[in-house]
Structure 1
Amino acid sequence: MANDIITLRDALRHTAGRSAVSVGLTVVLTLSLCLLQFGPDPDAVVRVSFVTKSSLLISTIISGLLTAALSFRSALTMRELALTRAELQRISGTDQLTGLLNRRGFDQAAEAALTKARGGNLPTTVLMCDIDRFKAINDQFGHDFGDKVLISIAEVLRSFAERRQMLVARHGGEEFAVLMTGVSKERAAQYAEELRQACAAEAVLREGASTNVTISIGLAESHAGMDLAKVMRLADQALYAAKHRGRNRVVRADVLADSIAA
């Protein structure tokens, strides 16, 4: 197996083994074809031209068979490597606890979505969501329960995003990010409020009892020429304002900017 080749010695041993198999197959195929062409009698008289033509035919057949076998083996190895590379890429962009995209996976997918939205002149909105008082939850109930909270909120976000074809990720710690395209500013704010309510209604079980957890959300819309980092920063500022104003609420970056200006 290609996965067993790790050191130079492994590569040399693998090559030697394949060479031995190739030589053995060549000998076997040559003897078999010679017996078919010339018969089993070693004293039989055979014309030189017949021997020459037969030798060329045998060489061609053996070469074709070995080339096909080696090509097939190479194709299997390339397929295995491609699948392994794809799996490694998937793992590198996935949060292992929740199964959502991680920050790296989200940034890559969001950049592509933002570029596509710009090409179609579609609005793009980012939500930054943070679980309220998560540190206190960990301190009071332990990290295992904290993980349950993360998984539970992630499932609400996943279900919500899948129904509306949105990108969703665990952006880090207890923070989640959502990106939506082709949705008006008003509709995006409505979605954010629905998401906040859905998370608040989700009960997380703890020792036979259930606990409700809330989230705060900051919302920012990407304007012409605004890159992903900028809109994420605006959404993060709006999230901070939502936390500062009492948590369990949605704050829009544009409304926040208006209130600051006033």
Structure 2
Amino acid sequence: MAIKIETHRDVMRRTGKIMATAAGLTAVMSFAMGLLVFGSDFSAPITVGQMQLFGLLAGGSISVALSGAMSYRAGRLMLELAEMRRELAQISQTDQLTGLLNRRGFDAEAAAALDQAQDSGASAAVLMCDIDHFKSINDRYGHEIGDKVLVEIADVLRQFAIRHEALVARYGGEEFATVLTGLSHDEAALCAEEIRRDCAARTILDDETLLPVTISIGFTVKSRDLDLADLMRTADHALYIAKRSGRDRVEHARDAALISRLPASA
């Protein structure tokens, strides 16, 4: 059973265990080498040559065995440490409730996707999605139902990502973000509408109680100067217009810019 290393005493216990193992292995191998060189007659005379051969065999064998065992153990520890780092990195970039990327993970992967799109000359679309009236859902049904809504919407986005090779994330609270590359404005609009429609079709709560949940989406598409922060700000502005215009709708940033210039009563 492995010794957990949590205190200085654990370090000393582990060191003692390794030293005892090494001492036992040395004794066993020395005895075996002695039998091989000198035989089993303990009263037989020993020559200088036999002593030299014994020292050579015993020293070499024990050194190789111990160094190999320690190298193997060190390698296993390095492997475990690397796996632990990967797990911690994944945890730090994943939203624990929905299983999607969190904001930190999204920013890192989205930046890489935009760099690749920039190098290949492809366009990039950013969609910002926000669950409509989410605070009211929490207030009326409780946070447990609110969490279920988040999970259901996240599943819609996950399935969308699989179909379209998109990058999706829970960006914060009830906001979700999506990045797609190589799409035209019309294609991005169709993708946004697909997400909006699939979310509206989900049944939340149970078979007897239907809780209609809709989302608003703002998106933007650019073919050059693909800066993530700029794209997110533009898509977020379009999302704001979608919210102000009645929710459960998709707004393109190009159109949202025109709407935002209209009087508030328009």
TM-score relative to the length of structure 1: 0.95
Q: Deviations over 1:42-82 (max 9, x none)?
A: 22123211220221122101111111111111111111111
2:18 paired with 1:18: yes
Tell me what 1:143 maps to.
143
2 CA distance for matches of 1:107 and 1:179?
10
Q: Deviations over 1:25-55 (max 9, x none)?
A: 1112111221122112222123211220221
Residue of structure 2 in register with 1:173 after alignment:
173
Where in structure 2 are the equivalents of 1:115-194 lying within 5 Å?
Answer: 115-194=115-194
Partner of 1:52: 52
AA in 1 matched with 2:168: V
Q: Tell me how far apart the structure 2 counterparts of residues 192 and 91 of structure 1 sit (CA, whole Å).
A: 28
- For residues 105-136 of structure 1, the C-alpha deviation after alignment (integer angstroms, 9 at most, x for no partner) is 11111111111111111101110000000000
- Between stretches 33-42 and 124-133, larger displacement belongs to 33-42
Structure 1: distance between partners of 2:127 and 2:151: 18
Q: Does 1:234 align with 2:228?
A: no
- Taking the aligned partners of 1:132 and 1:261, their CA distance within structure 2 comes to 23
Find the counterpart in structure 2 of residue 254 from structure 1.
254
Show the counterpart of 1:113.
113
- 3-state SS in 1 of match to 2:169: strand
Kindly report which structure 2 residues correspond to 1:59-74, keeping only aligned pairs within 5 A, or say none: 59-74=59-74
Contact kept? 2:128, 2:178, Cα under 8 Å: yes
Distance 1:77 1:230, change over 3 A: same
Are 1:96 and 2:96 matched, yes or no?
Answer: yes
- Any stretches of 5+ residues in structure 1 without a counterpart? none
Any conservation in 1 of the 2:184–2:221 contact (CA below 8 Å)?
Answer: no
Deviation at 1:90, TM superposition (A): 0.7
Distance 1:20-1:3 versus aligned 2 partners, 3 A rule: closer
CA contact (8 A) 2:118 2:226 kept: no
Distance 1:34 1:195 in 2: 77
- Tell me the equivalent position of 1:84: 84
Amino acid in structure 2 at the alignment position of 1:112? A
Q: For the structure 1 residues 207 and 142, does the alpha-carbon distance in structure 2 shift closer, same or farther, using more than 3 Å as the test?
A: farther
Alignment of 1:197-212 (within 5 A): 197-206=197-206, 208-212=208-212
1:126–1:147 Cα change, 3 Å: same
Partner of 2:225, secondary structure, is coil
Work out the CA distance in 1 between the residues paired with 2:203 and 2:9.
57
Inter-partner Cα distance in structure 2 for 1:30 and 1:150: 66
Indicate conservation of the 8 Å contact 1:126/1:220, yes or no. Answer: yes
CA positional deviation for 1:208: 2.8
The percent identity for this pair of structures is 50
Could you tell me how far 1:86 is from its partner in structure 2?
Answer: 0.6
State the TM-score, normalizing by the size of structure 2: 0.93
SS in 2 for 1:169: strand
State which drifts further: 205-214 or 39-48.
205-214
Distance (Å, rounded) in 1 between the aligned partners of 2:33 and 2:50? 14
Q: CA deviation at 1:162?
A: 0.9
Give the residue type in structure 2 aligned to 1:213: V
Q: CA deviation at 1:260?
A: 4.5
Contact 1:2–1:77, Cα closer than 8 Å, also in 2: no
Distance 1:3 1:158 in 2: 41
Letter of the aligned partner of 1:8 in structure 2?
Answer: H
